[in-house]
Chains A and B, each alone.
Chain A
Amino acid sequence: MGGKLFAVILVVIALASAVPIVSHTFMGANVSLPEDISTHGHDIDKQLDETMIEAGLSFLAAQLVLAFFVFQSGGRNGVLKNFPGGAKYLVVAAVLLVGAEAIALGAMGTKAWGKVYFEPASADALPIQAQAGQFAFYFRYAGPDGKFGVLHPEKIDEGNSNFFGLDPENDIPARDDITSAELVIPANKEVHLMLHAKDVGHSFYVRELRIQQDFVPGLDLSLHFTATKVGKYEIVCTQLCGLGHYNMKAYLNVMSQDDFDKWLKAQSN
């Protein structure tokens, strides 16, 4: 009785859990994921879809087989049967199937990962520096001279809007640097984002961009991506950074190239 009840409950749980898996499998990633607005995101979504199919099938198969075997195992009046073939075939099947699955997914995933991390940013990508600090992001553009001023952590003075610790008095490239609390970028243009942490660890996550990368104090990292769709998206911090972590957000504002040029000009003045 208990065994049959277990089997029934397990089937219900497995099928209920699988509704989102099935819809994801047949209708694509955009059912549960927000729309992808990047040039590289397609590969990640595809990888996720493939994995969803394989993992979803494994999940369903294992749960249903478990339910079935438990269902039929009671009340055998002492007659025992062994699984045909014994452990050997199961071991071989597991090694071959899962091994092939793992190697295939691993190899395919390398391409998606490589697009984000192995290819350097192209030479004409727009360089922007992102700084994360408790509990805000700031973004810096090089200004008309195309050069970033040097950072001096001891000169950081938030009261006077010197968020990066620039020294315009002595450092000429710093004088025309543009600082913004919003990450404004042109659509369809590659952006080279240089990440700098001011205090503790943070992370840069934009769901729609399919991009996430930690800010590591003492280690300046860089990212590159191309946004394809005009609009406003949320940038959130995903690395625990202290009491205001939940509130550490900024906006990614993707504009047309014309609007972006106008915006940049307005900032320079």
Chain B
Amino acid sequence: MSEASAHVVHHGPPTSFIRKHVFSLDHKVIGKQYYALALVAVVTGMVLSWLMRIHLIAPNWPIPGLQWLSKVGAPGGVMTPEYYLSLMTMHGTLMVFFVLTNAPFAAFGNYFLPIQIGAEDMAFPRFNMMSFWTTFIAFCILVAAFFVPDGPPLAGWTAYAPLSAVGKDAGPGEGLGQTLWGLSIFVFCIASLLGSLNFIATTLDLRTKGMTLARMPIVSWAWFITSCIALLAFAVLLPACLLLILDRIGGTSFFIPSGLNISDHLQPHQGGSPLLWQHLFWFFGHPEVYIAILPAIGIVSHILINSMRKPMLSHKTIIYCMMGIGFLSYMVWGHHMFLSGMNPFSALVFSFPTLMITIPATIMTLIWLGSLYGSNLRINTASLFCLGFISMFVSGGVSGFFLAQPSIDIYLHATYFVVGHFHMVMGVAAIFGVFAGTYFWFPKMTGRMMSERLGRLHFWLTFIGTYCIFMPFHYLGLAGNVRRYSAFTDDFLVPLIPVHKFITYSALFTGAVQLVFIFNLIYSHFKGAIAPANPWEATSLEWSTPSSPPPFDNFGGKHPVVYHDPYQYGVKSSTGDYLMQDSPERAGETP
């Protein structure tokens, strides 16, 4: 791990518009491109969730304009059941891959990992550019599935075989749309593999002088651990998608057994196993949850320490916990498959490490709480979103305690309880991390401050709104409300419709509130107050660059030298109560 290699000059400053803003090698531009793509994906995914929520409480109501999106899927604007499932599939796929993987990990990681470790760029800038544009191609392929003749895929984001594997016979949405889905995820895996290799190489090889691994900020650790997880996880999903595509168009039978009679056609396949797909998918799928949440944990811890003006009780323990979670995340995929027909003894084997994951998660929570005790907490939008994150992380975490137990899963599996659980812990919590990161790093990325007033309004309404949406999901689940139903008609689910109405109104409201955020983002980009060099009085290297946004080589031809641990807060120094990592000064006593 040579520190001298940080002095290699990667590439000169770009000159043309295309090289500067489109096919840029600069990790900062690529980070922003990932962010922009995630923003487009999250807006699309959110609008899809609106459409689904409206359909759930008014299945026969024509949604104005929906017929333009799909004449077949929504004749006259009235959504068909299969179109509901298609929108659900696209919602899940967009959110999990293009938002929760891209925003906290690829976007912020690209922008800030090199700067935080004092590097000029990523280890492989060309790979980096390829990663983004490959992700972009994957996105375009997925969106194209909206416009194919028999509609977008409807097998869910988990694409269980044989529904996803046998092709058109399985019904509308299972034609070209599903093939495009497989291709999109296949391409996405390639991009993520390139990206995570790049992150790992950058972290190990490009740290500047004095930046030992132990001196890396917690969030850089989070990106590093996440890239290790992603490397192993996407490496499994990649061949799985290839096999799925081959089953669909190559006549193979990896996931399709013999003797299936679908739509009155005896399928020509034999010898495959639907469970094989589930194992491969969830071997990726569970670590994917941590690919979404670990960077958010890192971002939140990083910002909280800054807001509390004192070091975490033990920030190294948080790093060890993240490693522990990453390690355990590969041993628990079977808890998605308790009722799948795999050997019932294996359910117990998968249940145990799942319950054990609670231990590092609890340790982290207790350290956040214990650190808040007696702190000098500065309340701003970024720190509010961090506090909101902790609250959501706890709420989403305790519901995991139910689902980790096979016996309870018999009742709660495939109900809204599961939907509530994963939306809170991997959806909302991770997004809160992204919001916190955005408010915190916006001054560095643009040179301007975001509006604090609008930011707080955004926080309060989003915090209350998300609880109103996702907490009732748990009670629906306890009542046995099955998920993935496009309508609740004439049966035991009818009495629960008022709860669904409340959720739909909350979702429409909370979604609309996000316009405040987008307005703030755009307005502040052009009209925000000019940001001081170090507006949060922070210690890590991203605040040591000569300008905001930093120049193309980050430190203006110099290479910072690191003298301290990342979080020298609550000390006496010439700058106040903190000491920057590259300051040669020695900290005095606690003031």
Contacts and interface: CB of A to CB of B under 8 A. Distances in A.
Interface string A52-72: 101110110011011001100
Interface in B143-172: 154-156, 160-163, 166, 170-172
A90 B366 contact: yes
Contact of B370 (A2, A43, A87, A199): A87
Given A65-B369, A90-B367, A216 B275 contact: yes
Contacts of B475: 20, 32
Contacts of B419: none
A58 B483 CA distance: 27
Contact of A66 (B339, B347, B358, B390): B390
Which interface class (under 10, 10 to 19, 20 to 34, 35 or more) fits B?
A: 35 or more
B214 interface: no
Contacts of A189: none
Contacts of B391: 10, 13, 63, 66
Contact of A80 (B172, B344, B380, B590): B590
Given A66-B369, A213-B339, A33 B464 contact: no
A110 interface: yes
A192 interface: no
A58 B482 contact: no
Interface string A206-245: 0100111110111101000000000000101011111111
B17 interface: no
A191 B363 CA distance: 46
Given A86-B314, A198-B261, A246-B485, A240 B160 contact: yes
Given A17-B395, A66-B390, A109 B160 contact: no
Contacts of A70: 372, 377, 387
Contacts of A3: 377, 379
Interface stretch (B96-104, B406-414, B505-513, B541-549): B406-414
Nearest to A59: B398
B272 interface: yes
Interface stretch (A93-101, A137-145, A169-177): A93-101
B344 A210 contact: no
A106 B414 contact: no
Contacts of B482: 205, 236, 238
Interface residues of A, number: 102
B411 A105 contact: no
B577 A154 contact: no
B85 interface: yes
B266 A113 contact: no
A184 interface: no
A90 to B, nearest CB: 4
B410 A44 contact: yes
A134 B263 contact: yes
A203 B346 CA distance: 20
Given A102-B359, A219-B257, A9 B591 contact: no
A63 B377 CA distance: 17
A79 B366 CA distance: 22
Contacts of B492: 34, 207, 234
B570 interface: yes
Given A109-B407, A240-B163, A73 B377 contact: yes
Contacts of B263: 134, 199
Among A48, A74, A101, A246, residue most surrounded by chain B Cβ atoms (within 10 Å): A246
A25 interface: no
Given A6-B384, A32-B479, A198-B261, A243 B163 contact: no
A165 interface: yes
A223 to B, nearest CB: 10
Contacts of B340: 214, 216
Contacts of B339: 203, 212-214
B576 to A, nearest CB: 10
A33 B479 contact: yes
Interface in A103-153: 103, 105-106, 109-113, 116-118, 133-134, 151, 153
B486 interface: yes
Contacts of B384: 2, 6
Contacts of A213: 339, 341
Contact of B411 (A33, A52, A234): A33
A208 B483 CA distance: 17
B5 interface: no
Given A34-B480, A109-B405, A239-B414, A66 B387 contact: yes
Interface string A25-63: 000000011100000000110011001101110110011
B266 A154 contact: yes
B536 interface: no
B359 A98 contact: yes
B369 A78 contact: no
B451 interface: no
Q: Is the interface of A mostly helix, strand, loop or mixed?
A: helix
Contacts of A199: 162, 170, 260-263
Contact of A13 (B155, B347, B467): B467
B82 A47 contact: no
A80 B374 CA distance: 6
Given A48-B411, A153-B260, A246 B351 contact: no
B502 interface: no
A200 interface: yes
B401 A54 contact: yes
B428 to A, nearest CB: 13
Contact of B398 (A55, A212, A240): A55
A269 interface: no
Contacts of B275: 216, 219
B170 to A, nearest CB: 6
A62 B392 CA distance: 11
A82 interface: yes
Nearest to A103: B355
B478 interface: yes
A153 B160 CA distance: 22
Contacts of B355: 102-103, 105-106
Nearest to A24: B478
A257 interface: no
B261 A154 contact: yes
A154 B259 CA distance: 8
Contacts of A165: 261
Interface of B: 80-82, 85, 154-156, 160-163, 166, 170-174, 256-264, 266, 272-275, 308-310, 313-314, 317, 339-341, 344-345, 347-348, 351-352, 355-356, 358-359, 362-363, 365-367, 369-377, 379-380, 384, 387, 390-391, 394-395, 398-399, 401-402, 405-408, 410-411, 413-415, 456, 460, 463-464, 467, 471, 475, 478-480, 482-487, 491-492, 570, 577, 590-591
10 contacts: A48-B402, A55-B401, A66-B394, A73-B373, A117-B344, A153-B260, A165-B261, A244-B81, A245-B484, A246-B484
Sort A-B residue pairs by CB-CB distance and give the 7 closest, nearest first. A218-B257, A81-B374, A243-B82, A117-B344, A2-B379, A87-B314, A112-B407
Given A33-B480, A134-B262, A198-B261, 15 more contacts: A10-B391, A44-B410, A69-B372, A80-B310, A83-B370, A87-B370, A94-B359, A98-B362, A105-B401, A106-B355, A134-B263, A210-B410, A218-B258, A238-B414, A243-B81
